A and B are shown apart, each in its own frame.
Chain A
């Protein structure tokens, strides 16, 4: 960094909007992939837990173990196995979402009032129809709240994946730090924070859209 240079060189950034956009998209894509796969696995595990309650402790304990591994260490563990690949990044990121999402989905489904479940069964809903049309809609606010935490957490963790060469905006931060080039790492940091805030806001809107009936209650 030369003397007299401004902290952030906007002209430099403006000349590289393509690269910034690509890194941002990569970041979003990694996040969506990780949260999407994590949600699918968590949902399946939650259904297993609801069918067999005694699987709750082993499953959540397993997810907790993964969660306690520091992110840097987890990426490091995976590199010898799956290399410095997208796969390594996704495996690690998915691993972190499980702890949040499994417990959250189980809690959300448990939160559906017993009398609502019983009357749905007694009206003649099959157990799958009951899950899709009664339990899931009612569990949705809590599930969305869990997805919100998982997504914001993942957006943060994706930056760490830059250390194995995959990392969206983390790539900018890592490179900027290594080259003592503040423009680059500040841009990376600001964009990833903005992304997290945006995702958070998106989920708040989603949550409101998913529960028109909850607002009707507030209106009375």
Chain B
């Protein structure tokens, strides 16, 4: 059982199972053809293993939000069952059920008349925790989502930016340490830069917390980035494909899925792999002050034909062309040409490729978090991973 960074034992994540779940909105829209009512769900069967992030993705009106809301019974299914750890949610008291499930929505829905601390404390208060425990938990959560408790505790939602509000929303959902989180387009209303940061933070949190997360989005890129599993839904509320993002991108199950994930699905697969997953090419490196003749010999026998100058801490300084290496004497950094892009080892191949294309070079230097050169990555290597699948 995983433990949180705070040493407390974390409640095991829950398994969620949809069994032939159907939601029809008859009556209200008889004009439409059967199965085309927006928000309807048609015979959804899906198992989300404990501790995984499952992204429900599909065009608008495909029933992904409806599916999510049936889990905490904001919407009741027409037929079928939803089980959490084998327990049918329909058999539970909805109020008690909801207190065990975290819920985050796009508009956040913070209570404007309550302070940030009170907002975060919502579920613990409903559960009747003692005041001291609530206060401690609130501070812990604010810190967890990157908001300084002393600065934010007493503020009101209207005094926060959109990104900060969304963090509070996540903290509120996590307050009573629920084994299951439902997130409905949680980052849909913030600008792309903030969205990316919030996505990264949620992934980082998830590494520590290992909750089961059902995540709804219409954005394929977000689904690929966030999901351990991807459940693609089609208009009419039918499940078109379930699989890991890699599986869905490599083998779309239908014409619809192929179109939905996009013509650039090959490129999208690059965002699933990271620079550190590839075997890097060794760089011929030398430090300023090294013997030029010896370094020149090493550079000459190297297929790259360049010498990588690094400083005492192995951090790249620049390239030295083979013909610029003096025949003897010490090496100097003066003749070094500007560097190719520095690629973080945890960067995705998509980002790495994009950086190389932007710099108009065929290779980049891969560095670790301390900035030390680890090796080289070439455009050709990336192309090879695409071919090999």
| Chain A complexes with chain B | yes
- Contact between chains at A123 and B126 (CB < 8 Å): yes
- Contact between chains at B158 and A123 (CB < 8 Å): no
Using known A-B contacts A115-B107, A116-B111, A211-B113, determine if residue A123 contacts B156 with beta carbons closer than 8 Å.
Answer: no
CA distance A218 to B103 in the complex (A): 29
The reply on A147 being an interface residue by CB < 8 A is no
Question: Hey, which chain A residues are within 8 Å of B337, CB to CB?
Answer: none
Contacting A at CB under 8 A, from B79-128, are: 95-99, 101, 103, 105, 107-114, 122-123, 126
CA distance A115 to B107 in the complex (A): 6
- Contact between chains at B156 and A124 (CB < 8 Å): no
Q: Which of A118, A120, A126 has the most CB of B within 10 A?
A: A118
- Contact between chains at B105 and A115 (CB < 8 Å): yes
CA distance A216 to B112 in the complex (A): 10
- Contact between chains at A124 and B109 (CB < 8 Å): no
| Smallest CB separation, B264 vs chain A (Å) | 34
Question: Hey, which chain A residues are within 8 Å of B97, CB to CB?
Answer: 124
Question: Hey, which chain A residues are within 8 Å of B112, CB to CB?
Answer: 116, 138, 213, 217
- Contact between chains at A123 and B105 (CB < 8 Å): no
User: Which listed residue (A116, A137, A211) contacts B109, Cβ 8 A?
Assistant: A116
The reply on A125 being an interface residue by CB < 8 A is yes
CA distance A126 to B96 in the complex (A): 9
Question: Hey, which chain A residues are within 8 Å of B205, CB to CB?
Answer: none
Using known A-B contacts A118-B105, A217-B158, determine if residue A124 contacts B123 with beta carbons closer than 8 Å.
Answer: yes
Q: Which of B107, B109, B123, B155 has the most CB of A within 10 A?
A: B109
Question: Hey, which chain B residues are within 8 Å of A216, CB to CB?
Answer: 155-156, 158-159
Question: Hey, which chain B residues are within 8 Å of A137, CB to CB?
Answer: 113
The reply on B42 being an interface residue by CB < 8 A is no
Question: Hey, which chain B residues are within 8 Å of A199, CB to CB?
Answer: none
The reply on A122 being an interface residue by CB < 8 A is yes
Using known A-B contacts A123-B103, A124-B95, A217-B159, determine if residue A115 contacts B126 with beta carbons closer than 8 Å.
Answer: no
A-side binding surface: helix, strand, loop or mixed?
Answer: helix
- Contact between chains at B111 and A120 (CB < 8 Å): yes
- Contact between chains at B111 and A122 (CB < 8 Å): no
Cβ proximity bits A91-127 to B, threshold 8 Å, 1 near / 0 not: 0000000000000000000000101101111111110
| Smallest CB separation, A166 vs chain B (Å) | 40
Question: Hey, which chain B residues are within 8 Å of A116, CB to CB?
Answer: 109-112
User: Which listed residue (A121, A134, A217, A220) contacts B98, Cβ 8 A?
Assistant: A121
Question: Hey, which chain A residues are within 8 Å of B172, CB to CB?
Answer: 123
User: Which listed residue (B95, B109, B110) contacts A118, Cβ 8 A?
Assistant: B109
Question: Hey, which chain B residues are within 8 Å of A122, CB to CB?
Answer: 72, 74, 98, 101, 103, 105, 182
Total number of residue pairs linking A and B with CB closer than 8 Å: 70
CA distance A123 to B123 in the complex (A): 6
Using known A-B contacts A121-B74, A123-B123, A138-B113, determine if residue A213 contacts B99 with beta carbons closer than 8 Å.
Answer: no
User: Which listed residue (A119, A213, A217) contacts B103, Cβ 8 A?
Assistant: A119
User: Which listed residue (B109, B156, B158) contacts A113, Cβ 8 A?
Assistant: B109
- Contact between chains at B155 and A123 (CB < 8 Å): no
B-side binding surface: helix, strand, loop or mixed?
Answer: mixed
- The interface size bin for chain A is 20 to 34
Contacting B at CB under 8 A, from A193-220, are: 211, 213, 216-217, 219-220
- Contact between chains at A124 and B126 (CB < 8 Å): yes
Question: Hey, which chain B residues are within 8 Å of A123, CB to CB?
Answer: 98-99, 103, 122-123, 126, 172
| Smallest CB separation, B123 vs chain A (Å) | 6
- Contact between chains at B156 and A213 (CB < 8 Å): yes
CA distance A137 to B182 in the complex (A): 27
User: Which listed residue (A119, A217, A219, A220) contacts B105, Cβ 8 A?
Assistant: A119
User: Which listed residue (B96, B109, B113) contacts A119, Cβ 8 A?
Assistant: B109
CA distance A219 to B156 in the complex (A): 11
CA distance A138 to B109 in the complex (A): 13
CA distance A134 to B114 in the complex (A): 9
User: Which listed residue (B95, B108, B114, B158) contacts A220, Cβ 8 A?
Assistant: B158
Question: Hey, which chain A residues are within 8 Å of B96, CB to CB?
Answer: 124
Contacting B at CB under 8 A, from A21-53, are: none
Question: Hey, which chain B residues are within 8 Å of A119, CB to CB?
Answer: 103, 105, 108-111
- Contact between chains at B99 and A124 (CB < 8 Å): yes
| Smallest CB separation, B86 vs chain A (Å) | 21
CA distance A121 to B111 in the complex (A): 12
Question: Hey, which chain B residues are within 8 Å of A113, CB to CB?
Answer: 107, 109
CA distance A134 to B96 in the complex (A): 18
CA distance A104 to B111 in the complex (A): 22
User: Which listed residue (B95, B109, B114, B158) contacts A115, Cβ 8 A?
Assistant: B109
- Contact between chains at B126 and A220 (CB < 8 Å): no
Question: Hey, which chain A residues are within 8 Å of B111, CB to CB?
Answer: 116, 119-120, 134, 138
Cβ proximity bits A130-141 to B, threshold 8 Å, 1 near / 0 not: 000010011000
With A115-B108, A118-B74, A123-B123 known, 12 other A-B pairs at CB within 8 A are A116-B110, A121-B74, A121-B98, A122-B74, A123-B99, A124-B95, A125-B95, A211-B113, A216-B158, A216-B159, A217-B112, A220-B158
Some 19 contacts from A to B, beta carbons below 8 A apart, are: A113-B109, A115-B107, A115-B108, A116-B109, A116-B112, A118-B105, A119-B103, A119-B108, A122-B74, A122-B101, A123-B122, A124-B96, A124-B99, A124-B123, A124-B126, A134-B111, A138-B112, A213-B158, A217-B158
List chain B positions with a Cβ less than 8 A from chain A.
Answer: 72, 74, 95-99, 101, 103, 105, 107-114, 122-123, 126, 155-156, 158-159, 172, 182
Q: Which 3 A-B pairs have CB atoms at the shortest separation, nearest pair first? A: A119-B109, A124-B99, A217-B158
